[in-house]
Amino acid sequence: MELNLHRPICFFDLETTGTNVAKDRIVEISILKVFPNGNKESKTWLVNPEMHIPEETTAIHGISNEKVANEPTFKMLSKQIYNMIKDSDLAGYNSDRFDIPLLAEEMLRADIDFDMKNCVSVDVQTIFHKMEKRTLEAAYKFYCDKDLKDAHSAAADTNATYEVLKSQLDRYGELENNIKSLSEFTTRKQFADFAGFIIFDEDGHEAFSFGKHKGKKVEAVLESEPGYFGWILNADFPLYTKKVLTGIKLRKLNTKL
């Protein structure tokens, strides 16, 4: 089943130096852009992460320090990548919990004000886990009856994810062929930031999801303990989390003026 699209959607996959959203960097990014008329555009970039790639990570995706030493940095590629995705919804495999948060960090480091206000995301892994509970290779075999060659290469994983989503729509009649509906189906919780440090409570207010103020409204904590804001800004939290927190603080100040 082909996707029912009202705007383009970009399937993407990242290979990285590790799994820490705040600290690790992209070493490869592949984007498959699918247009409402069925046309496709695909691009893959190797990226110099400007940090050491651990041997254990290279063993997974095959990208060594030597391989990316002369490749452009993410900042050099950022405008080109942003221009490809800015008018699109996003989709990936485990993308809501990892790829999108890490991409947002890289964009912010490159001085691009990346957010998801005007688009939605579909996490194909969530559909798979809700329906079958397995991995990408198993999903590809299960849904498409194909073996995933070159697994952990960004291009192979990106194309496999696109094919799996189309096959999921064929298999599950209860899934609506609509990107907004698929996004809602694959959303685990409502987060104010990508990394899940700030959530929305039952009343729709931002609340902390961690630490001594877990479950408390962000505005109330910033009011009663102003130093907590500075602590987060100076601690090892993702840039996007700090951006969201700053926005809440500024919003609160503006209501007092």
Share of the chain above pLDDT 90, in %: 81
If pLDDT is split at 50, 70 and 90, which confidence band does 63 have? very high
What does the pLDDT average to over 223-242?
93
Least confident residue range of 60-74, 130-144, 224-238: 130-144
| Integer Cα distance of 91 and 4 in angstroms | 14
Of 151 and 175, the structure prediction assigns the larger pLDDT to 175
Share of the chain above pLDDT 70, in %: 98
Sheet holding 121-123, edge to edge: 40-46, 26-34, 9-16, 89-92, 121-123
Q: What pLDDT does residue 135 have?
A: 83
State the chain's mean pLDDT as an integer: 93
Q: DSSP letter at 21? A: T
If pLDDT is split at 50, 70 and 90, which confidence band does 194 have? confident
| Integer Cα distance of 218 and 235 in angstroms | 17
Nearest to 232 by CA among 213, 218, 245, 250: 245
Of 134 and 181, the structure prediction assigns the larger pLDDT to 181
- What does each C-alpha distance from 72 to 76, 186, 212 come to in angstroms? 6, 33, 42
Q: Over the stretch 136-167, which tens digit does the pLDDT of each residue have?
A: 988 999 999 999 988 889 999 999 999 999 99
| Integer Cα distance of 160 and 149 in angstroms | 10
If pLDDT is split at 50, 70 and 90, which confidence band does 255 have? low
What does the pLDDT average to over 204-225?
94
What does the pLDDT average to over 15-38?
96
Q: What pLDDT does residue 103 have?
A: 97
What burial letters (b/e) apply to 20-30, b meaning 16+ CB within 10 Å?
ebbebbbbbbb
Tell me the sheet residues that pair with 11.
32, 91
Q: What pLDDT does residue 62 have?
A: 95
**Which domains are delineated in the chain?**
9-186 (3.30.420.10), 198-256 (no CATH)
Phi, psi for 83 (deg, rounded to 5): -65, -30
Q: Over the stretch 196-213, which tens digit does the pLDDT of each residue have?
A: 899 998 888 999 999 999
Q: What pLDDT does residue 53 have?
A: 97
- Residue 189 predicted with pLDDT over 90: no
Strand, coil or helix: what is 114?
A: coil
